[in-house]
Amino acid sequence: MTGNRQPVEGEFSPWGKKDDALVNELDWHTTTRSTGNNGDPRKQTFLRLFEESMDELRSYIGTLVIHVADADDVFQELCLTLWDRFDEFEPGTNFLAWARTVAFNSARTYWKRQSRRGKAALSPQLLQVFSRAHKGHSEFLELRRELVRNCLREMSESDKRFVTEVYEGNQSISKLAKQQRKTVDSLYKRLSRLREKLRQCVERRSND
């Protein structure tokens, strides 16, 4: 899982791996390092917590490491490290907070290696600044997501389903137009109207 593995044909993500491919590989890794089997509750708990936090951890590593290719390697190494150190995690506490601490140390180790190789490196102090900035941005985004979820509840079922199909189902407008026997232009106009409605709702709730 570490190193510069090339993505298989059909895989795509900003960092070279689909999330599903990464989770599947981590699933294999946890099995080979576990004395239990695929039904091991500890392993299943880890995979569930990891999947819930994966996007946030990837974004966090990307902020601290900066270089995309290197960030991919550091993130993959982090995934294995989290499993290897999972015994240190206290059940019932915040997994993401614990994983972020491990991730910060992984990024710090990366920059130390860069420094030893004579390359420019971020100082621990600057890493802390980046870490705090990312946390603040993440909290802001989560607030915005919650506001959007609340605003979606105010929509009709058909409008809510349409927005969900476009943004969460990754459906193209042209494909939806064929399925619904409507013109592409009419669906773009509908989407534009609903986005504006959501924007106004979010702004209104933000000011409450």
Q: What is the pLDDT of residues 37-71, one digit of tens each?
A: 556 788 889 999 999 899 889 989 998 998 888 99
Give the CA distances from residue 46 to residues 17, 19, 60, 126, in Å, rounded to whole numbers and listed in that order: 20, 16, 19, 31
What residues have CB less than 8 Å from 7, skipping those under 6 apart? 13, 16, 17, 21
pLDDT of 33 higher than 70: no
pLDDT in the model for residue 8: 35
Q: How many CA atoms lie within 13 A of 118 on its CB side?
A: 0
pTM of the model: 0.54
pLDDT of 31 higher than 70: no
Contact 71, 53 (CB under 8 A): no
- Structure-block tokens of residue 120: 């420019």
Contact 68, 14 (CB under 8 A): yes
What is the CATH code for 123-208?
A: 1.10.10.10
- Structure-block tokens of residue 178: 């064929």
What is the CATH code for 1-122?
A: 1.10.1740.10
Which letter does DSSP use for residue 117 in this model?
Answer: T
What residues have CB less than 8 Å from 52, skipping those under 6 apart? 95, 96
Structural domain spans, the chain = 1-122, 123-208
CB atoms inside a 10 Å sphere around CB 112: 12
What distance in Å separates the CA atoms of residue 166 and residue 7, rounded to the nearest whole number? 27
Contact 120, 78 (CB under 8 A): no
Q: What is the pLDDT of residues 152-197, one digit of tens each?
A: 888 999 998 888 887 776 667 888 888 889 898 888 888 888 888 8
pLDDT in the model for residue 85: 94
Between these two residues, 73 and 147, which has the higher pLDDT value? 73
What distance in Å separates the CA atoms of residue 114 and residue 73, rounded to the nearest whole number? 14
- Structure-block tokens of residue 68: 């995309």
Q: What is the pLDDT of residues 78-131, one digit of tens each?
A: 999 999 999 999 998 999 999 999 999 999 999 999 888 888 888 888 888 888
Give the CA distances from residue 128 to residues 25, 60, 107, in Å, rounded to whole numbers and listed in that order: 31, 12, 11
